[in-house]
With several copies, the nearest count.
Chain A
Amino acid sequence: MTKKNIITMEHGAGGQVMQGLISKSILGNISNRSAGTVGLDDLDDGATIALPADFNSSYEIVITTDSHVVKPLFFPGGDIGKLAVCGTVNDLTVMGARPVALTCAIVVSEGFEREILEEIIQSMDLTAKEARVAIVTGDTKTIPRNELDSIIINTSGIGFAPRIIRDNGLSPEDMIILTGTIGDHGISLLSHREGFNFNTKLESDVSPLNDLLEKSLQITTHDGRSAITAMKDPTRGGLSASINEMTQKSNVGVILEEEDIPIKSAVRSACEMLGLDPYEIANEGKAIMGVRPEYADEVLELLHSHKYGKDAAIIGKVVAEHQGKVLLRTPIGSLRQLNMPVGDPIPRVC
């Protein structure tokens, strides 16, 4: 047997293995990595584009991209079309931008049913309408069935931000707010995979967050800084990957209160059965953010008043100690580290 240096599923799972691939194989080989304040190196949810000299505005342009490859294509609570719109709308939103327009590039295998394609597009449309974004340009490629078995949808997005929210802006004393329960998306998908076959009423949380977060993003300090100091959407790699990234990039420590992290009982049970860690499971309709302490209650109240934020909670706070580490206070009062996931959350029996 010879060992080749090949890509495995772990390389796309949002954990340490993926970070290695991106920083070595991608960042390491690209020379021009920035066209504004936030660029490729920042590995944020998107990037900013500097305006030509004669632009004269207090806004910044934000762009982001994601390719969507979910299986099954239709799942409880959503489908690949809804996901493709939400993924990009949410990345723009957690950068502090108002999403304005999306591109939509579809790669579909020959043999795909046209009716299903149309259902997916209709779902994209419904979601785009909800999120008040336009789909302004696109691309369609078909490839032979023996080369691709389904459909891949890339959406890239553009938005305008009065104040960019980075993922490295946490400061000691900031409160950590999570906008709802974790793990719903990942577990609802896993339940339908071959070899698991769980029955559950659980639905994916996939949803556009721009409306939920709009008002919170408008709260500023007297000197015009945003009340939200850092924000991400905890997708692949789950809450654990996102909060670790924010903590490391911000050079602070974070202490989370395990008993305050909202999680549904079905998610908890499925995770127990499969030996999975709910903090590593993907979400598609949640944001995790740092909020200046004096605004935490105001933000929480705004979130609670919105259908997508009913379960929002303050789950912890930023500290000056424990630099780069996320600590979890467990129900027995002990502190333990919450680590960056390694690779794909794989169901376990032991």
Chain B
Amino acid sequence: MCIAIPGKITKLLDEYTAMVDFGGVERKVNLDLITGSEEIIPGLNILVHVGYAISIISEDERKEISEILEQLENDE
């Protein structure tokens, strides 16, 4: 359950809302669940569920996975 979709912050609206672009569709997103810990700036990729950012997407981690995959393959 829990459809969530990645988007990119295009503009900060106030201390806890931002406009977020989802590949051609923009919507206001609530940042309450991710503010504080990290720097929230335009350009940041976030994961959005029911209008709330629930996680910041880390591209570094993504790369790591594809390495894991390669490793698994090399195992054979």
Indicate if A touches B (C-beta under 8 A): yes
B32 beta carbon closer than 8 Å to chain A: no
Which of B18-26, B33-41, B60-68 lines the interface with chain A? B18-26
Chain B: minimal CB distance from A194 (Å): 14
List A residues 320-350 near B (Cβ within 8 Å).
348-350
Q: Specify which of B2, B24, B25, B48 lies most central, judged by the most chain A CB atoms within 10 Å of its CB.
A: B25
Contact in complex: A350, B2 (CB < 8 Å): yes
Chain A residues within an 8 Å CB radius of B28: 197
Chain A residues within an 8 Å CB radius of B23: 265-266, 268-269
Chain A: minimal CB distance from B58 (Å): 20
Given A269-B5, A349-B2: A197 touches B24 (CB 8 Å cut-off): no
List B residues 1-21 near A (Cβ within 8 Å).
1-3, 5, 19
Number of interface residues of B (CB under 8 A): 15
Q: Specify which of B1, B5, B48 lies most central, judged by the most chain A CB atoms within 10 Å of its CB.
A: B5
Interface residues on A, range: 20 to 34
Given A349-B49, A349-B50: A266 touches B1 (CB 8 Å cut-off): no
- Which secondary structure characterizes the binding site on chain B? strand
Contact in complex: B24, A275 (CB < 8 Å): no
Contact in complex: B24, A269 (CB < 8 Å): yes
A199 beta carbon closer than 8 Å to chain B: yes
Contact in complex: A350, B1 (CB < 8 Å): yes
A301 beta carbon closer than 8 Å to chain B: no
Given A349-B49, A349-B50: A264 touches B24 (CB 8 Å cut-off): yes
A198 beta carbon closer than 8 Å to chain B: yes
Number of A-B pairs whose CB atoms are under 8 Å? 50
Chain A residues within an 8 Å CB radius of B3: 272-275, 348-350
CB-based nearest B residue for A202: B24
List A residues 243-300 near B (Cβ within 8 Å).
264-266, 268-270, 272-275
Contact in complex: A269, B2 (CB < 8 Å): no
Given A273-B3, A349-B3: A266 touches B25 (CB 8 Å cut-off): yes
Contact in complex: B50, A199 (CB < 8 Å): no
CB-based nearest A residue for B3: A275
Contact in complex: A269, B22 (CB < 8 Å): yes
**Within the assembled complex, what's the spacing in Å between the Cα atoms of A350 and B1?**
4
Residue contacts A-B, CB under 8 angstroms, 20 given: A197-B27, A197-B28, A199-B26, A200-B25, A264-B24, A265-B23, A266-B24, A266-B25, A268-B23, A269-B25, A272-B3, A272-B22, A273-B25, A348-B3, A349-B1, A349-B2, A349-B3, A349-B50, A350-B2, A350-B3
**What residues of chain A have their CB less than 8 Å away from a CB belonging to chain B?**
191, 197-202, 264-266, 268-270, 272-275, 348-350
**What residues of chain B have their CB less than 8 Å away from a CB belonging to chain A?**
1-3, 5, 19, 22-28, 48-50
Q: A270-B25, A273-B48 provided; 13 other pairs, C-beta below 8 A?
A: A197-B27, A199-B26, A199-B27, A202-B24, A202-B25, A264-B24, A272-B3, A272-B22, A273-B3, A273-B22, A348-B3, A349-B49, A349-B50
